Structure 1
Amino acid sequence: MAQNRQVTGTVISAEDKQPVPGVNVLVQGTSRGTVTDLDGKYSLDLSGTEETLVFSFIGFTSKTVPVQGRTVVDVELELDTKTLEEIVVVGYGVQKKSDITGSTANIKGDELLKQPVLTATQAMQGKVAGVQIISSGQPGSSPQIRVRGVGTALGGTTSLYVVDGVLTDDISNINTADIVDMNILKDASSAAIYGSRGANGVIIITTKKGVSGDLKISYNNNIGFRQAANLVEMANASEYSNYIQAATGNPAPASPYDTDWYGTILRNAFQQSHNISVSGGTDKATYLFNAGYLSDQGIILNNDFERFTLRFNNDYKLSDKIQFGFQSSFGNSINENAFGNINIDAFGNVGSVYNNAYRASPIITSIQDGRYGNSSAYQNVGNPLLDLNNNSIRVNENRLQGSTFLSYKPVEWLTFRSSLGADWRNSLNRGYYYQFNADENTFLVAGGNQLRAQSSLIVQNSQAFRWVWDNTATITKQLGKHDVTLLAGVTAEKLNFTFLSANRNDIPADPDLWYIGVGDANTSQNNGGGDAWARNSYLSRVNYSYNEKYLFTATVRIDGSSRLPEINRWQTFPSFGVGWQIHREGFMENQNIFDVLKLRGSYGKVGNDQIPTNAYTVSVEQNKPYPFGGVLVPAIPGVQINQNIDPNITWEITEEYDLAIEFGLFQSKLTGEVNYYDKKVANALISVPLPRTGADADGIIFTNAATIQNRGVEVLLNWKKLVNENLSYSVGGNVTFNENKVVGLNGGRAIRGGSIGAAQGFTTITDNGLPVGSFFVLNQIGVFNTTGEVNSYINNDGDPLQPTAKPGDFKYEDVNGDGRIDDEDRVFAGSYQPVAYFGLNGSVNFKSWDFSIDFYGNVGNEVYNGKKAVRVEGRDNVEKSVVYDRWTAANRSQTEPGANTGNQLASKYFVESGSFVRINNLTIGYTFPKSMLEKVRISTCRAFVTSQNLFTLKKYSGFTPELPGDPISSGIELSAYPTTRTVALGINVGF
């Protein structure tokens, strides 16, 4: 009699040898089958008469395979270039692209690897509609991501990354060469499965895994140079002296020096990246090992960054029903970050060296005969070169990240899966500041205002550990024309973070003695702190498809967070989506235009609990003197409340509607989609004024009292054509139009932000009807030409509106007509949030050659030239354009003031266009013929030359219009690290 038996196997892509999840595996001639899991594996029970399997997946050519008595059947599927569909990794599972009802996007790892950048997020810039990525050129820094606009003012804005199931806020430790693909969940419906973590978008990263077969070795690298992509031209010594004399009435001191400070502190920086991978396995176990090294000097002297990464991914088939696997990675980075002076709580993040180079006088030498020029002899900024050469700032970070899973499939339609992920992070920050001694010469001293009588050492050690435990059950059934997938699960997450810091003076200059215990014990200071929080969640999802035409998805997640008070600790986040695959209808059969035509819509809620853990806890300061009768009596101690809190603080809730159409025309040569979204954040955190009560905290309270809305349209188009066997090309692009505004403060007061300095004060406001972080400044309406004009600019009482003004000074509008110029006369002057941002790309493949080019940009936003506003001593240097365009008696400019000593009021003068377009990447490659490679036992080899940020077209007069920051202070250039241009050579080799 025929015997039943089980057949198992792995389905991989013939192109990149990576597992393909979601493949349909059917017994030929029946409706019985299964679907491959996340690792491309399947198992299926067969009867003795069933000997043929059919493997099919949209995006690949179907394959029929005779079993012929085997128990293991591994299959390679060829890509089908005529189809649009692809697999999409969604939260806790996978779906076919055609079945998705939410808004998602996918980027392949090979596309990300083209760019010589630290993180894959940077390489994603301009490639996804609805996702704005704001980068910095600073080595070791991570870009800022905004998915469909800014949805908060004072809450957290960090997107969630899910790396092989491990939840994290930062992927700077992940080697781009390890990534198979990135799936971005943009709308609330697709992200709702992550509940409280989904408000700022979710990026799911899948790393490479081994496949059964012979040992495979691959190596890829790129080596090149970086340089500043754009520099502001500053006044030389002669121009500077003339300007200072006009501004102060006194000539600048005679000097033999003409120092180009940017030429002094900048360099062409060497960068390199190397990666080697080993993979293979059997039908019972597969493995992948990858090692990577990245080095980036940084364009500022002594600003070196290094990163070493290791990855080890294993999968085991313990039985026909049980699978086990783990993914692990280790990263070590060392950042010798000389980007300015730092303090204990911001190692390497904010500095002043670059800004000092902007302000430093050119008549001061940088260094001569071993002695540094005393820049403070003529203005109040330090010598940038002295800081770079005589301070040592180092950040050493180790990070271990990994996950393990156990999957049990008792029957072919039911899967239980448990996974445990962990992320451990240790950071040792050290800043050593050398002792500087004075010299007798006025212009050649070792320090000036940078004199330091004692050396000092600051160290900080921080530890963070996070774990997440997921347990899910998935049922997948096909009943005739009905396809149903049910998911239910529970997840828990916990983080503990601590730091200890110390500083001490009189530490020896020998680096081998840079320890706190070596210095003067009488100068010791210690500090410490930390954080801890936990989340617990229950989730469920149903995916339903009828006849592959009508789609429905519903998700519910219930989240509990310790960051919120018990009364508001739990929240429910529901979502649903529907889809209609119109091209599968009978009335579409006889047309030859649309290959794919799909309409979808969704609704969902997600949350944001990224607030300080103690935001709802009252804290007090003890041993404060208590006044009786208005007289302080120190002998009687009391307590004082440090802050006003809302004990009922709750979640920021994002509610979003999404409507879209997807299409593929002319045998899917032209593909695209158009999305409309309406995203509203209720209960947004904001400050509300309170009556002041005695000596307690200021009269404001941090609470949920605002609503922020983003509405927008995303358009994505791609054209691909295979001309012949030797030539193919593609052209594509995406654009996002977004409108952001505050639609209800609900009793809250407008938030002021973007502080520049004493004269400028705040520069942004977040208020009803305006975008978050809008520039709010005085309106200069010209320049005074004569003393008579100053005297005639009067209020209703006949008093001068600007009594201290002189010819050449700005004239400001008295907007509210109260007879004086003050903060009440400020007006809206645009915001950093663009009206539209876009990406364009093109590629050509001709025989063994390949060429690709990417553009990125945005339009309709403003930036604030803050560096021009911080000339506070009157003797700082100025830009060359200011020297020649300024108001004079002979050149009565109405846009540029006369020579001045700084301390200008915040006005539209400093607000400039932030629009730009940039060639983000340009790559030319050559793939060597296999006939040539076989002689040296190499399977594949490709050499390439690539350039990043090759050219930028912009209106902004500053260094870069890309200026990351928090929502209420973005778009202000003070000491921004300049955007860098990179040119590199590389090679990809497979054995």
Structure 2
Amino acid sequence: MKLSKLLIFCFLSVLFSVYGQAQDVSIKGKVIDESGLPIPGVTISIRGTTKATSSDSDGNYVIKAASSGTLVFSYVGYTSIQESINGRTDINVRLHTETQSLQEVVVNVGYGTQKRKNLTNAVSTVKSDVFENRPISSVAQAIQGNATGVNVVQTSGKPGASFDVRIRGLSSINSENSPLYVVDGIQTKDISGLNTEDIVDLSILKDATATAIYGVNGSTGVVIITTKKGKSYKNDFQFSSYLGLSKAVSNVDVLNLTDYKTLINEINPSYLTTANDPKYAGINTNWQDKILRTGIDQNYNFSYAGGTDKIKFYGALGYQVTEGIINPSKYNRFSGKINMNANLYSWLKADVSLNVIQSDGSYISDNNSVGQGGAVMSALVTPSFLPIWGSQLNVRETNTDGSYKDGYKDGQYAENPYQSGWENPVSLLSRKNTTEVNRYLSSISFDVNILKNLVWKPMASFDLTRSDNVQFVDPFSNVWGRNGDNNPDSDKGRGSNTVVNNNNWNFENTLNYSLKFDDSELSVLGGVSMQKNKYTRDSNSGNGFSVDQTNYDFDAAKNQSFENRENEVRSLSYFGRATYTLKNKYILNGVFRESGASQLAANHKWGFFPAVSAAWIISNENFLKDSSTISELKLRGGWGKTGNLSGLPAYSSFDLNYTNPLTNATTLDQIGNPDLKWETTTDINLGLDFGIFDNRIKFVADVYKKNTKDLLQIVNFPGFTVPYYYNAGEIENKGLELGLNTRNLTGDFKWNSSFNISFNENKVVKLGLLKKLPFQNLTSVGESVILLTEGSSLGTFYGYKVDKVDPTTGTLLYKDINGDGKVTTDDRTNIGNPNPKYTFGFSNDFSYKGFSLDALITGSQGGDIFNASRMDLTLMNNYNNQSTEVLNRWTTSGQITDVPKANDSNALHVSDRFVEDGSYIRLKAVTLGYQFKLEKLKLNTIKVYVTGQNLYTITNYKGFDPEVGAFNNATGIGQGIDLGTYPQVKTFIFGVKANF
């Protein structure tokens, strides 16, 4: 908190600086574009002051300023200009669009920038207007539908939930597949909590020629995040706020009480006897209604940007509070941001960045199987005759001492009578699960001009994160708390407290040399990077609390245990890049990084990762450079190699022992392997950039193939419960990416469109020692739903193929795949592929004077979903409530249906019966806004808007939502399995943005 207070103090100190003013005179004028048309909404500010106005609908403006001052004219999409007043009272200006210099747009490429026209590799950008046009809550949300080659899935609707981001497919089995993020030079794998109001744009590096400069950290792609900076002689204040109201996108229909009783009587008549107990008479609980509510999202941000020639400052404060649609899920976040850029001397510049994120949340269990696991599935399968509270039972007899014979006391949740200790959904949600996170990201760097063209840049950065999780099941009201482990005589209540510190430090030095001679340009970068990660985990847990205990207190527990873990990872890297441009037509780029990692033994510690790429700017050739039609034509190509160690334990090359201080026991934590080495990915990319009519129509295409070898795999040997890591296997990804951007209409009425589509094909080429690797065991049937085999896609579903429901017996029959005349486990086969064939995004932005309308459509085609939720809701083998699909079950001989009879043991298998097409088209967001000019209120502009998110979805998927990501698995192997995910939400947002 001390650092937070310092941040606020620094921010307010700059915010309330006092600027002197000279004698003012009234100045008027008109702002026009190249065609002579007026430009409304242009900001006219007085350099060095906070005073500003804007042009009206006819381009006219009036402002008072010192006769010796300078006016600054700026507008999005146009090049800003400055006009010295020099005693004038009439100043007319003409602004020129920035699109005429589109080739000069600068793109972040890692350890520097390059002009877009000189790019030789595959880089997608998400521009600032994406963040300006609609409320964006996360970086991943900004990327979704706006960048080729990136598959973004919103896997959960719970507050503060992260997205699955995959760049060019899945390329590893046990290592992470998520990209590296670089925020103002700070490298991190976690950007949760980052305030998007501070972001200017994103650069997404996709192929090895772009990512090799980051070595092992960049093997799965890199997202470079540029944040806002201060402005010379300009003082911009901005306030923004919005309020969002959310509802679940859809519900799942389950049996009403009458149909439920009919079903359980077919399964087991004793179940019906319980349900008909008089104490449950008249009770009919709609559990989905009891756990769902209207979600509320509030967001407030305030920022200042300003400065002089010597120093520029940007400071921002943000606050967000989100109440989820399932009570009591909630997420609060405070963020503070400072960027300072100082020209200390003619030869020395300094940049300082500080980001503070403090969040706390109340979370619920989701994305799990039924019973004790997930609140969503619990609400679907819990019988409706059960009440929330024990006191709601219809018949309650008392003992002579006044206590109830049913065992319930007032304030205690009712338990499911079919299974002792099983929570009802509301009782499950009463468990406390809170996490507080404090995070500090900071960097400081210097640009030292050693020689005219030689710049030395030392940089130090850190990313410090502390999370504190507390869980508690109270010993009185909660079913599991008072009947722990289904044993009424066990110690009551249980809780835990886990504190994790994950700290990263990075020290880098780079030298950058640039030279222009004749018709050639040369840029050379060299550097060294030292990184350190230290991870500590301290946890304690206890049970056996007094009945009046309402919060977790370790000292109050009868039975106590604790654990401490600590590990450290270090790496050292040398890297370089050289770019040579000849005649502004031919570009050659070479990159390398050599990295050493402490996780590996000495004989494999170092990895060398080179890349080379080239481009030919055909449109600069003599036969095209004067073309009035073709404004850009460029061919690109490259080859590169990267490495990956993410997910590998810190001491994987050693046998590691773990000591429990309470029991004084030592156990083996993992089996060491001194022969472990890097996963390596080889990547080939070919690209085309094509623009016509001054790039009013811009087309980009990339085709790629990448092979990842020496996969990090895990095997558990007989007699051991700890893992053994080894290298084996190969995965291939190949694909095609197409992007089209158009400026359809200009003038008063503007219309811009953007369309992108990305195809990816994934295949396991080799597996190595084990030819079959099962994943994701489903407790409902005791079988794995995923089997990796050579030739199949990563994450392929595996099981039986349904033939039919026998019309005579109602038994589910499976196909005899191998043709031996009987159905056995040998007849299991691939039954679905969760990897989509392609994903796409289509956006349209319209504006007319002060009005704006923006719409984004996203979609996915071909990705299968294993609907395990539906499986649990149609098995009909116990007392669980079921979906209305079972109303079509077989009941009489001769009936033709695809739903088997109740209590059919043959149906208790993983099969293609539960594999569904996850394709969808979604109206992801629509925003309608209007921008006012309120000079009389000393506001430059104020924009009000309304946004709808997840408004409409076209899909054949029967579950809550077709955007199903990885099931509790950072590697992504478990993608496409729906086990009761927290539903996505349909949200309506009302917001305002004010500039002054």
Provide the C-alpha distance between the structure 2 equivalents of 1:901 and 1:227, rounded to a whole number of angstroms: 37
Q: Does 1:550 align with 2:586?
A: yes
Q: What is the match of residue 705 of structure 2?
A: 678
| Equivalent of residue 437 in structure 2, options 397, 418, 436 | 397
When residues 772 and 230 of structure 1 are mapped into structure 2, their CA distance, relative to the original with a 3 A threshold, is: same
Amino acid at match of 1:938: L
CA distance in 1, matches of 2:44, 2:572: 37
2:943 corresponds to: 942
2:427 alignment counterpart: 386
Name the SS of the counterpart of 1:672 in structure 2: strand
1:848 alignment partner, one of 847, 850, 863: 850
1:829 maps to a residue whose letter is: I
The whole-number CA distance in structure 1 between the counterparts of 2:686 and 2:94 is: 36
Q: Distance in 1 between matches of 2:850 and 2:145?
A: 27
Give the corresponding residue for 2:955. 954
| 2:838 paired residue number | 836
Comparing 807-816 with 366-375, greater Cα deviation is found at 366-375
CA distance in 2, matches of 1:152, 1:16: 50
In structure 2, what is the Cα distance between the partners aligned to 1:161 and 1:937? 39
- Aligned to 1:543, the other structure's residue is in SS state strand
| Deviation of the 1:680 alpha carbon | 0.7
Contact 2:367 2:981 survives alignment (8 Å) = no
Alpha-carbon spacing, 1:703–1:79, altered in 2? closer, same or farther (3 Å): farther
CA displacement, residues 849-896 of structure 1 (integer Å, 9 cap, x when unaligned): 00011011111111111123346861101111222x222327734422
- Are residues 1:107 and 2:122 paired? no
User: Of 956, 977, 982, which residue of structure 1 is paired with 2:987?
Assistant: 982
The answer to whether the aligner puts 1:704 opposite 2:714 as a matched pair is no
What amino acid is the match of 1:553?
N
Q: 1:276 offset after TM fit, Å?
A: 0.2
TM-score, normalising length: structure 1:
0.84
Is 1:487 equivalent to 2:528 in the alignment? no
Contact 1:175–1:292 (CA under 8 A) maintained in structure 2: yes
Q: What does residue 346 of structure 1 align with?
A: none
Query: What displacement does 1:983 show?
Result: 0.7
In structure 2, stretches of 5+ residues that fail to align are 1-40, 46-75, 87-92, 393-409
Distance (whole Å) between structure 1 residues aligned to residue 265 and residue 513 of structure 2: 81
Q: Structure 1 regions of 5+ residues with no counterpart?
A: 1-13, 19-57, 69-74, 344-349, 440-444, 624-636, 787-806
CA distance, structure 2, for counterparts of residue 646 and residue 16 of structure 1:
64
Please give the alpha-carbon distance, in whole angstroms, between the structure 2 residues aligned to 1:754 and 1:204.
33
What is the CA distance between 1:456 and its match in structure 2?
2.2
Q: Is the 8 A contact 2:271 2:879 kept in 1?
A: no
Change (3 A) 1:132 1:438: closer
d(CA) in 1 for partners of 2:125, 2:547: 52
- Specify the alignment match of 1:498 in structure 2: 536
| Match among 157, 164, 169 for residue 144 of structure 1 | 164
- 1:109/1:177 contact within 8 Å kept: no
1:291-330 alignment to 2 at 5 Å?
Answer: 291-330=317-356
Q: Deviations over 1:231-269 (max 9, x none)?
A: 111111112112222333567233422221111101011
Measure how far apart 1:354 and its partner are.
Answer: 1.4
Matches within 5 A, 1:58-457: 79-85=97-103, 86-135=105-154, 136-248=156-268, 252=272, 253-254=275-276, 255-339=281-365, 351-367=373-389, 369=392, 374-378=414-418, 381-389=422-430, 391-436=431-476, 454-457=492-495
Given candidates 882, 894, 902, the residue that maps to 1:899 is: 902
Note if contact 1:603-1:657 (Cα within 8 Å) is conserved in structure 2.
Answer: yes
- How far residue 416 of structure 1 moved from its aligned partner, in angstroms, is 0.8
Question: TM-score when scaled to structure 2?
Answer: 0.83
After TM superposition, the structure 1 = structure 2 runs for residues 551-700 of structure 1, keeping only pairs within 5 Å, are 551-589=587-625, 591-610=627-646, 611-619=648-656, 644-687=671-714, 695=719
Amino acid at match of 2:510: T
The worse-fitting range, judged by mean Cα deviation, of 772-781 and 752-761 is: 752-761
CA gap 1:266/1:114 in 2 versus in 1, 3 angstroms: farther
Residue in structure 1 matched with residue 12 of structure 2 by the alignment: none
Q: Structure 1 963/287 Cα, relative in aligned 2: closer, same or farther at 3 Å?
A: same
**Is contact 1:760-1:869 (8 Å) kept?**
no
SS in 2 for 1:231: coil
Q: Which moved more, 1:414-423 or 1:449-458?
A: 449-458
After the TM superposition, which of the residue ranges 593-602 and 252-261 deviates more from structure 2? 252-261
How far off is 1:77 after superposition? 9.2
Match of 2:795 in 1: 773
1:882-922 CA distance string (max 9 Å, x none):
22x22232773442222237772111111111111111111
d(CA) in 1 for partners of 2:803, 2:871: 18
Q: Give the length in aligned residue pairs.
A: 876
Taking structure 1 as reference, are residues 161 and 890 closer, same or farther at Cα in structure 2, changes over 3 Å only? same
Aligned match of 2:805: 783
Q: Distance in 2 between matches of 1:15 and 1:201?
A: 38
Structure 1 residue aligned with 2:26:
none
Comparing 395-404 and 370-379, the one that deviates more: 370-379
Q: Compute the displacement of 1:108 (Å).
A: 2.3
SS of match in other structure, 1:213: coil
Partners of 1:969 and 1:463 in 2: how far apart? Answer: 27
State the distance in 1 between where 2:80 and 2:186 align.
33
Q: 1:895 to 1:406 in 2, by over 3 A?
A: same
Q: Which one is further off, 316-325 or 81-90?
A: 81-90
**CA distance in structure 1 between the partners assigned to 2:483 and 2:789 by the alignment:** 49
Instruction: Between 305-314 and 821-830, report the one with greater CA deviation.
Output: 821-830
The AA in structure 2 aligned to 1:678 is K
Partner AA of 1:900 in structure 2: N
**Would the aligned equivalents of 1:721 and 1:729 in 2 still touch at CA under 8 Å?**
yes
Partner of 2:16: none
Distance 2:828 2:703 in 1: 34
Cα deviations by residue, 1:386-438 (Å, 9 ceiling, x for unpaired) = 1223x211101100110001111133311111111101111111011111369
Letter in 2 for 1:617: F
State the distance in 2 between where 1:283 and 1:507 align: 64
Pairs within 5 Å for 1:670-819: 670-687=697-714, 695=719, 701-724=724-747, 726-757=748-779, 759-786=781-808, 807-817=809-819
Could you tell me how far apart the structure 2 residues matched to 1:418 and 1:120 are? 28
Identify the residue that residue 514 of structure 2 maps to in structure 1. Answer: 476
Superposed CA RMSD? 3.1
CA contact (8 A) 2:491 2:545 kept: no
Partner of 2:882: 878
CA shift in 2, pair 1:758/1:841, >3 Å: closer
Shift of 1:721: 2.7
Is the 1:501–1:528 Cα contact (8 Å) retained in structure 2? yes
1:71 aligned residue = none
**CA 1:642/1:81 → structure 2, altered by over 3 Å: closer, same or farther?**
closer
Indicate how the Cα distance of structure 1 residues 622 and 160 shifts in structure 2: closer, same or farther if over 3 A, else same.
closer
Q: In structure 2, what is the Cα distance between the partners aligned to 1:260 and 1:578? A: 63
Residue 228 and residue 378 in structure 1: after superposition, are their counterparts in 2 closer, same or farther (change >3 A)? same
- The residue type paired with residue 984 of structure 1 is I
- Counterpart of 1:29 in structure 2 is none
1:963 Cα deviation after fit: 2.2
Q: Percent identity?
A: 29
Deviation at 1:313, TM superposition (A): 1.3
How far residue 686 of structure 1 moved from its aligned partner, in angstroms, is 2.7
- Equivalent position of 1:24 in the other structure: none
| Distance verdict in 2 for CA 1:474–1:251, change over 3 Å | closer
Q: What SS class does the counterpart of residue 734 from structure 2 fall into?
A: strand
**Aligned residue identity for 2:837:** V
1: CA distance, partners of 2:826 / 2:701: 43
2:259 aligns to what SS in structure 1?
helix
